Amino acid sequence: MNYPKGEELNEGLLRTIEGCRICVVVFSTNYPASSWCLKELEKIIECHRTYGHIVLPIFYDVDPSHIRHQRGAFGKNLKAFQGLWGKSVLSRWRTVLTEAANFSGWDVSNNRNEAQLVKEIAEDVLTKLDNTFMHMTEFPVGLESHVQEVIGYIENQSTKVCIVGIWGMGGLGKTTTAKAIYNRIHRRFMGRCFIEDIREVCETDRRGHLHLQEQLLSNVLKTKVNIQSVGIGRAMIESKLSRRKALIVLDDVIEFGQLKVLCGNRKWFGQGSIVIITTRDVRLLHKLKVDFVYKMEEMDENKSLELFSWHAFGEAKPTEEFDELARNVVAYCGGLPLALEVIGSYLSERRKKEWESVLSKLKIIPNDQVQEKLRISYNGLGDHMEKDIFLDICCFFIGKDRAYVTEILNGCGLHADIGITVLMERSLVKVAKNNKLEMHPLIRDMDREIIRESSTKKPGKRSRLWFQEDSLNVLTKNTGTKAIEGLALKLHSSSRDCFKAYAFKTMDQLRLLQLEHVELTGDYGYLPKHLRWIYWKRFPLKYMPKNFFLGGVIAIDLKHSNLRLVWKEPQVLPWLKILNLSHSKYLTETPDFSNLPSLEKLILKDCPSLCKVHQSIGDLQNLLLINLKDCTSLSNLPREIYKLKSLETLILSGCSKIDKLEEDIVQMEYLTTLIAKNTAVKQVSFSIVRLKSIEYISLCGYEGLSRNVFPSIILSWMSPTMNPVSRIRSFSGTSSSLISMDMHNNNLGDLVPILSSLLNLLTVSVQCDTGFQLSEELRTIQDEEYGSYRELEIASYASQIPKHYLSSYSIGIGSYQEFFNTLSRSISEGLATSAVSDVFLPSDNYPYWLAHMEDGHSVYFTVPDDFHMKGMTLCVVYLSTPEDTAIECLISVSMVNYTKGTIQIFKRDTVISFNDEDWQGIISHLGPGDEVQICVTFEHGLLVKKTAVYLIMCDESIDKETIPSPYPKEKQKKNVIVGFIKEICNV
């Protein structure tokens, strides 16, 4: 405030202070020297006490504690005027000084940037004056990271209408995060609106949608708006806001209809507008096609403990006495901010014994406030099927594989494929990285409380029993009802409890049965006929009774059973998809599979007595998985097993007596995974590498992705004398992978499809017996690479290409790059300067190379007896359209040595990056007098007219200075080279 100098603080000026909402007080060391300032401060504090005025102190080069306790220079200045004011006045001023110094403000030191300070103060005052400022949580633990990530995205979308979704389960702090973002950026927008609790408004107000539209328009336009219908409201939003840059937050949206009436189209808002939506249902955001979805996650343990401690103790850490109890409560809350806040506040200032009592109670009866918030998501589920899926997962399937659960619940008629997806979208269920279903502990408790409440309202109507006490009571007292759909009873392995099968007689609708270490006596015919899932750990009998009706079962899981045989007689189970008898140590043979047409997964892991797999397994046309891991007595597989074309995964690891996989395995067209380590198989069958769909292999010490393992497997078939490992290493280099094989016993035609499919296989070396076999293998390779494309088709295609589309392509191998550059440049210039539509390649010898040339895509030559090669250049002249170049169409280069009976195939990636190591590999396969053919294979996009090879001859006596430069400085030298090219090409 600025008062006229020399005037007293009269009544008018005092009323001015009363009319202020915010008072900024600047304290300095000399502040107490002014009675005016002290009288003004006294009035400011009075208004704060009476009207709630906001006081913002600035401590300008003075310690706040000196003002609070009137110490230091500030205290001395106050005492200096004690005689002028009297003790009573001084006492009042001391009191208001202490109270003012207790307010949170700004501590300004000499080295602080005052311009920045003024900006901060102005922003804070504006924020507090702004009526649209959203009230924030008292303890914003972990909030800043959420705010920063969302605002970071928004900052990059300033030129368009940006719609952002904040998604997560109830109680995670979605609304709090939206408020913090709104407070941070709302002053940038002339129009802004934050609509809270949209779900509640629509549930409690029959004019819900109209009310929301009116609030949106009134807040943004800053004038009262009345709307007669939703349709008119939509039109008004578009017409009134389409040219306005607005910030709009829609909180707790639960139905897409709520979005349609408020932000149905981006065109409704002006450029630069921001719309933020909080919801529990991510599908709403995807349906609206929002720009960015920010998923809220549970707090980590450290932040959870801090937030809980602020509410329970008023500080960032628990007191030492309550530390363990506090951590137990935090673990119960599972990182849910709402639970941490509610329970922390409830436990504040309570005794240790009360804490222990509350914690015990929470494990049985969840907190009402938290449950009420979480139940909103459950109540919002669309139909009874989604609710049934939710309740089933909560009681029986947490931690189970999603695909497994889906199969079972689909068998119950619940359409779980879409149902589980909906639960995930509503943040009620999660799927972990290993595809296991997970659920927040508090949601699980809420779910089970719903079941408990339903039975309280309707006695005898509890649909699912999962607490041991409840299940024991029903089975002991025979109090089961028709309402029971699922029952779980898990006893300790030392339990001696035994129940009568008769107890199940009245449970006609039971479909999910989960038992552990439970023994039943009596007639198994009393067990329900509607069972879809049987999980019975430690099944006590030696075989399943004939009158145990399983005709509708989808999954049978009898791990650790006492079964010797599954059934004495074959059973008709038309719907059975999953059979798991793992760890059944007495099981000697599998059942007859003839009447199990739907079986998809057969799991017999660790059945050490199993010695026979029934041959009817070959009839299972839908079987996807066989797991026989650690069946140590199993010595062979029935031949019929190889008929399983549908099989995707075969696991035989630890079957130490299985010594052979038949060649028939090639019939398994869809086999993608073969795991058979620690077996007696010594040699990988040739058929393994011919499997069309195989992706992962673990066999005979080879393990990994098939494309990485196959080269090593094929390498294992080669002749060690013909293909020393040292040669392989030097030839393969660092950038390529080499296969070298002996073709005495194998047909390359079978291997070519495999070799071409290996992405990292760049070079192949083949050893043959005779020249005829060599020619046949080369023809096989070229036919495979060309596919069905033949010379006639190539000629027909080439006849359509104009003759002037003639080009050359050179490949240099070895040292002396100068030669390669000179030769390539010379050929290019010769082609470019000639007016004759013919093929031009140097066909005569030159002091530094020997040339061999032929028509077509191959060339023959004999390695000279007295010739020390330092490299070679392969050159082709081809005909193609401008779109098809040699480097893009090149498939491979083959070098056939008819004298040594070898073929070396260099794939494209090797050819375009030949190095010195590659050259050493090539030269090691060549000797004086060897008859050699080089073949170049291209895709059908071009036609090779001529192919030439230039053998670079160079010895130590040749001075590199005399090598023709690829870039002659003198025009005369260039003309000499061009003339030379034209001459040897017989222009």
Spatial neighbors of 111 by CB under 8 A, at least 6 apart, are: none
Q: Identify the bridge partners of residue 890 per DSSP, sorted by sequence position.
A: 938
Q: Can you spell out the DSSP letters for 889-953?
A: HEEEEEEEETTTTEEEEEEHHHHTT--HHHHHHHHTT--TT-EEEEEEEE-TTEEEEEEEEEEEE
| Residue 864 CB neighbour total at 10 angstroms | 13
Q: Helix (H, G, I), strand (E, B), or coil: what is residue 856?
A: coil
Q: Helix (H, G, I), strand (E, B), or coil: what is residue 829?
A: helix
Distance CA 495, CA 285 (A): 51
Contact 948, 875 (CB under 8 A): yes
Our CA angle for 31, 37, 38, nearest 5°, is: 90
Contact 275, 162 (CB under 8 A): yes
Residue from 706, 648, 656 nearest 676 by CA: 656
Q: Considering 8, 40, 324, 695, which one is annotated as catalytic?
A: 40
| Strands lying side by side in the sheet with 106-108 | 22-27, 54-60, 106-108
Which two three-digit tokens encode residue 517?
């270490």
HEC assignment per residue over 509-570: CCCEEEEECCEEECCHHHCCCCCCEEEEECCCCCCCCCCCCCCCCCEEECCCCCCCCCCCCC
Which two three-digit tokens encode residue 262?
């408020």
DSSP conformation class of 275: E
| b (16+ CB within 10 A) / e for 135-162 | eebebbbbbeebbeebeeebeeeeeebb
Burial grade of 165 (CB within 10 A; 0-12, 13-18, 19 or more)? buried
| Strands lying side by side in the sheet with 274-279 | 191-195, 246-253, 274-279, 162-167, 292-295
Angular region, 672: left φ>0, alpha ψ -120 to 50, beta rest: alpha
| b (16+ CB within 10 A) / e for 463-482 | bbbbeeebbeebbeeeebbe
Which two three-digit tokens encode residue 163?
């719609």
| Strands lying side by side in the sheet with 942-953 | 806-814, 869-880, 942-953, 849-855
Catalytic residue check, 40: yes
DSSP conformation class of 296: P
Distance CA 337, CA 370 (A): 10
Give the CA diameter of the chain.
126
Distance CA 203, CA 205 (A): 6
Distance CA 307, CA 285 (A): 30
Residue from 79, 114, 124 nearest 97 by CA: 79
Residue from 634, 632, 706, 637 nearest 665 by CA: 637
Crossing angle (nearest 10°) for helices 441-457 and 384-392: 120
R_g of the chain computed on alpha carbons: 42
Residue from 933, 930, 778 nearest 869 by CA: 930
Crossing angle (nearest 10°) for helices 35-51 and 11-18: 40
The distance from CA 47 to its chain's CA centroid, rounded to whole angstroms, is 58
Contact 526, 501 (CB under 8 A): yes
Residues annotated catalytic, as ranges: 40
